[in-house]
């Protein structure tokens, strides 16, 4: 026993089992006696035994079951399946049951594991040509029974996977057959297919990548250029690779489903996230509905060859908000953590995707070199024997008397070798006895039909082929680049990128969750909650919202929505709290202490700690809020403040306009309103927003609007303003400037909508087959309209928003000799509706249409102010004054004292 074993199997690790055969308890379970033991005490050494067993088991699972090899990118079961299919390959389909049975000669783990691995390989649509029902990766439906489906190796697999001449072999598990250690795959298969495996103590998750991008990256690496690789999934969708980290352990990617708006009440999910099926996706949507996160009427699954899940919304539900809710609360958005673990040198290694690709390219280059060297050797052997044969026949060595009368084989061989001596310097290698024996086996029929000219042509062709192979070996990098280029030309069209790479915006759950609860307050007892159904209704909310509460003494705090919570009495205002909301402005007048001055302030609450108490006032005892208003868009009202009358007081009231007060931080003191005692404060007039319009930007990376300065500046938007969206296919529509809006990826123009702006479009009319020019104005519409016409083959050439645009028409083909045509659009055609057909530009063949610099610009618009007659103006002023006459000091004094006036 080694020192390590002695340490592991110390006395502390022994398990003592005491028993007596006479007692019958031990005997009742087993009568087996451990050899070498005596008496009734039996000792088992467990620690070292279990450690060795566990390490053996873990090593076996890691190396032989779950983790792919770096060289060929295959797990052992996948490698054995492909090897078996190659042995069975005759160009025809084979029953999967037959393939599974044949693979069991190499893989001793049952038909179920082999069958599942074979189906997964077939569904990747790369190495295996499938026939029959192989299941559906979109719906998760399983494949038909192995006896009903068939498979064969694809042409791609036959091209890149197999070459017995350079394959290293090992005995199978029972020693009856040989199986490959790794297959000589000349392609980054591991990155193309992706892999997922769970072993003991580690796991491997490598995401699939695009076929063509892998080949391009391989060529870039061979040329010494930089390259980047990002995942591409068969199920399509969108992927955010911001934190991909080159596929290394610790990185992550976000994957989203593709959701389209069919109309305001219907959403269509046409592409699903990687690793999900339509069934699991629908289940997650229904769970979110049950929890009240999203309001939907029903979900229909119309998936067949392509995914299509229709989500029908409840009337009144925002479709844009519903899309965000699907991403936030369902499996329409998932996060995947890659872990690039592979077997290399008989050990697991954690690498990056780039490192795996580089290793694959280096391995491919070495395999191609080996193939060329083998090919060169075979060609040289053919050249060597052709030269021997030509000399043997042309020199008529077979007719030599010494050869014919040779007493033994050795004498004959020696004679031929002697006759070949003058020609040996021209041979590619030395002449051996085997070569001479092969010459002696040439039949007389072959000698009689020998053609010297054809032999010379064959020798010349072989020499040319050898020189070509030598050239390839000398420029092995260029040869490898050509290999990847041929693969892309031959198979690349079958594998376009399906997943769109796009940055994702952060969706805040509190902004997109549906208001599935109602908030109530019991002012007498000081409780709020969603369960107080009989008390005063406050507002609609969701179960994940925060509530901001203001008290009469100036205190305020933010709490979490709950079924019932004690918050205290004297609540002045409460509502749903929106974090980082700079548009909601609170207008406040407070008294500082019991008899202190009154202060006025305006502030926003953008972010505070939950359940922590804050103060609007300066914190003195007896402070009190005397006026409070919450304004969602920064509105500023005008107040009438009435004083308590005092001797010698000239004015008993003043007006205070909140628009004159600057918006400051929530902890600011504010401005002094007055030093007089205030009798009451009343609203004189509601005011408008003092924040002005909201500046809006459009971020093309995430296709969302924002107010943070990211992307293209669209302008300053007021409440009624709209955003115009023009797509490349001629569709256009208008939206609000809400940050939750979703937009298409093929946007041509996005800007602030101006109803009287003229647009000029040059287009190809597919119905007429000629280019047309039209001038029109876009209309405000939430539904998509198309200004190119109803024929989907019509296409937009260019679109201009110049007031007086000019175009240059360049002719092509048989009309290329004509001078370019210059068109002044303002003179060519008048402004009409967007559905108008327009005016044909020419009947000649047009190569291109370019926009020229306009000769005149649009004059700035000057708003005219209508003149008012003096007498009319005086009349209007008189009427206005009489209607808005304010009470004087005497009126206010009578109101305070309660006296009535006679006159």
Give the active site residues: 148
CB 389 within 8 A of CB 508: no
Length of the chain: 903
Q: Note the Cα 491 to chain centre separation in Å.
A: 25
Q: Which of 548, 523, 720, 559 is closest to 628 using CA atoms?
A: 548
What is the β-pairing status of strands 747-752 and 723-727? Answer: antiparallel
CB 313 within 8 A of CB 319: yes
Structure tokens belonging to residue 226: 């930089």
Distant-in-sequence contacts of 559-564, Cβ < 8 A, 24+ apart:
559/610, 559/611, 560/610, 560/611, 561/517, 561/519, 561/529, 561/530, 562/529, 562/530, 563/529, 563/530, 563/531, 564/527, 564/528, 564/529, 564/531, 564/532
Q: Which helix (H) or strand (E) holds 695?
A: strand 694-699
The DSSP string of 173-236 is TTSSSEEEEE----S-HHHHH-EEEE-SS-EEEE--B-HHHHHHHHHHHHTT------B--TT-
What is residue 638's three-state secondary structure?
A: strand
Burial of 823 (0-12, 13-18, 19+ CB in 10 A): buried
Q: Which helix (H) or strand (E) holds 251?
A: none
Q: Which helix (H) or strand (E) holds 628?
A: strand 624-631
Q: Note the Cα 287 to chain centre separation in Å.
A: 24
CB 395 within 8 A of CB 447: no
What is residue 553's three-state secondary structure?
A: coil
Burial of 65 (0-12, 13-18, 19+ CB in 10 A): middle
Distance from C-alpha of 628 to C-alpha of 626, rounded to nearest angstrom: 7
Radius of gyration, alpha carbons of the chain: 43
Structure tokens belonging to residue 522: 């019991």
Distance from C-alpha of 77 to C-alpha of 113, rounded to nearest angstrom: 8
Cα distances from 575 to residues 30, 515, 637, 819, in angstroms, run 74, 13, 20, 70
Distance from C-alpha of 15 to C-alpha of 1, rounded to nearest angstrom: 19
Structure tokens belonging to residue 846: 């047009």
State the DSSP code for 689.
Answer: B
What is the β-pairing status of strands 150-153 and 94-95? Answer: antiparallel
Beta strands in 283-433 (DSSP E): 296-301, 309-313, 333-336, 341-344, 347-350
CB 250 within 8 A of CB 231: no
CB 100 within 8 A of CB 108: no
Distance from C-alpha of 183 to C-alpha of 189, rounded to nearest angstrom: 11
Please calculate the CA angle 313-318-319 and round it to the nearest 5 degrees: 65
Distance from C-alpha of 656 to C-alpha of 674, rounded to nearest angstrom: 10
What is residue 287's three-state secondary structure?
A: helix
Q: Which helix (H) or strand (E) holds 171?
A: strand 168-171
Distance from C-alpha of 136 to C-alpha of 482, rounded to nearest angstrom: 36
């Amino acid at each position: 026993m080694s020192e390590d074993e002695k340490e592991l199997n110390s006395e502390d690790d022994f398990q003592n089992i005491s028993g007596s055969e006479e007692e019958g308890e031990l005997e009742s379970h087993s009568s087996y006696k451990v050899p070498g033991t005596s008496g009734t005490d039996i000792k088992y050494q467990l620690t070292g035994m279990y450690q060795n067993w566990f390490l053996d088991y873990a090593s076996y699972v890691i190396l032989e079951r779950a983790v792919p090899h770096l060289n060929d990118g295959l797990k052992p079961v996948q490698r054995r399946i492909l090897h078996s299919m190659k042995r069975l390959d005759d160009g025809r389909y084979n029953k999967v049951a037959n393939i599974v049975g044949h693979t069991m000669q190499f893989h001793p783990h049952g038909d179920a594991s082999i069958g599942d691995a074979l189906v997964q390989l077939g569904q990747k649509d790369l190495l295996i040509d499938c026939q029959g029902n192989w299941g559906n990766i979109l719906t998760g439906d399983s494949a038909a029974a192995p006896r009903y489906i068939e498979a064969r190796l694809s042409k791609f697999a036959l091209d890149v996977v197999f070459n017995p001449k350079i394959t290293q072999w090992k005995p199978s598990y029972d020693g009856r057959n040989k199986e490959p250690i790794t297959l000589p795959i000349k392609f980054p298969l591991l990155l193309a297919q992706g892999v997922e495996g769970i072993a003991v103590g580690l796991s491997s998750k490598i995401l699939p990548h695009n076929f063509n991008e892998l080949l391009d990256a391989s060529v870039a690496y061979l040329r010494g250029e930089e390259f980047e690789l990002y995942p591409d999934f068969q199920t399509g969708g969108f992927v955010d690779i911001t934190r991909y980290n080159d596929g290394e352990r610790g990185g992550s990617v976000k994957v989203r489903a593709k959701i389209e708006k069919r109309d305001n009440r219907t959403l269509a999910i046409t592409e699903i996230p990687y690793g999900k099926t339509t069934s699991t996706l629908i289940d997650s949507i229904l769970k979110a509905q049950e929890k009240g996160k999203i309001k939907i009427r029903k979900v229909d699954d119309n998936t067949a060859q392509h995914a299509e899940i229709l989500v029908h919304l409840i009337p009144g539900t925002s479709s844009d908000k519903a899309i965000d809710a699907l991403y936030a609360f369902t499996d329409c958005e998932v996060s995947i953590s890659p872990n690039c673990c592979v077997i290399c040198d008989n050990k697991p290694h954690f690498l990056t995707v780039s490192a795996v690709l580089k290793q694959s390219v280096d391995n491919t280059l070495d395999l191609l070199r080996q193939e060329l060297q083998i090919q060169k050797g075979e060609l040289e052997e053919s050249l060597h024997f052709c030269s021997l044969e030509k000399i043997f026949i042309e020199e008529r060595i077979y007719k030599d008397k010494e050869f014919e009368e040779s007493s033994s084989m050795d004498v004959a061989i020696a004679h031929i070798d002697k006759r070949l001596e003058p020609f040996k310097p021209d041979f590619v290698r030395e002449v051996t006895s085997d070569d001479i024996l092969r010459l002696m086996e040439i039949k007389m029929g072959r000698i009689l039909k020998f053609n010297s000219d054809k032999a010379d042509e064959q020798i010349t062709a072989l020499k040319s082929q050898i020189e070509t192979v030598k050239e390839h070996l000398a420029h092995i990098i260029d040869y490898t680049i050509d290999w990847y280029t041929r693969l892309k030309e031959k198979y690349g069209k079958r594998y376009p990128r399906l997943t769109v790479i796009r940055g994702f915006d952060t969706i805040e759950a509190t902004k997109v969750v549906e208001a599935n609860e109602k908030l109530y307050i019991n002012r007498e007892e000081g409780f709020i909650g969603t369960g107080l159904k009989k008390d005063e209704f406050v507002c609609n909310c969701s179960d994940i919202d925060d509530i901001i509460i203001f008290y009469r003494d100036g205190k305020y705090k933010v709490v979490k929505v709950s079924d019932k919570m004690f918050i205290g009495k004297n609540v002045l205002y409460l509502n749903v709290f929106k974090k980082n909301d700079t548009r909601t402005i609170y207008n406040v007048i407070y008294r500082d202490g019991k008899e202190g001055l009154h202060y006025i302030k305006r502030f926003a609450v953008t972010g505070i700690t939950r359940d922590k108490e804050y103060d609007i006032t300066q914190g003195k005892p007896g402070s009190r809020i005397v006026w409070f208003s919450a304004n969602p868009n920064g509105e500023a009202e005008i107040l009438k403040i009435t004083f308590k009358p005092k001797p010698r007081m000239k004015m008993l009231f003043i007006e205070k306009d909140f628009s004159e007060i600057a918006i400051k931080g929530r902890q600011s003191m504010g401005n002094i309103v007055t030093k007089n005692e205030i009798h009451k404060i009343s609203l004189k007039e509601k005011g408008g927003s003092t924040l002005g319009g909201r500046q809006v930007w459009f971020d093309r990376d995430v296709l969302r609007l924002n107010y943070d300065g990211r992307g293209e500046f669209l302008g300053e938007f007021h409440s009624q303003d709209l955003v115009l969206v023009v797509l490349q296919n001629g569709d256009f529509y208008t939206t609000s400037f809400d940050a939750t809006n979703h937009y298409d990826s093929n946007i041509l123009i996005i800007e602030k909508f101006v109803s009287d702006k003229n647009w000029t479009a040059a287009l190809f009319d597919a119905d007429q087959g000629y280019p047309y020019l039209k001038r029109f104005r876009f209309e405000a519409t939430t539904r998509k309209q198309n200004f190119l016409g109803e024929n989907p083959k019509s296409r937009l050439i260019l679109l201009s928003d110049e007031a007086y645009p000019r175009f240059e028409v360049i002719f092509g083909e048989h009309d290329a000799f004509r001078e370019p045509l210059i068109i002044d659009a303002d003179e060519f055609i008048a402004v009409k509706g967007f559905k108008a057909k327009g005016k044909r530009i020419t009947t000649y063949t047009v190569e291109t249409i370019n926009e020229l610099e306009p000769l005149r610009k649009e004059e700035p618009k000057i708003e005219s102010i209508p003149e008012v007659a003096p007498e009319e103006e005086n009349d209007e002023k008189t009427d206005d004054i009489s209607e808005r006459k304010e009470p004087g000091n005497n009126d206010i004094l009578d109101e305070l004292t309660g006296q009535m006036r006679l006159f």
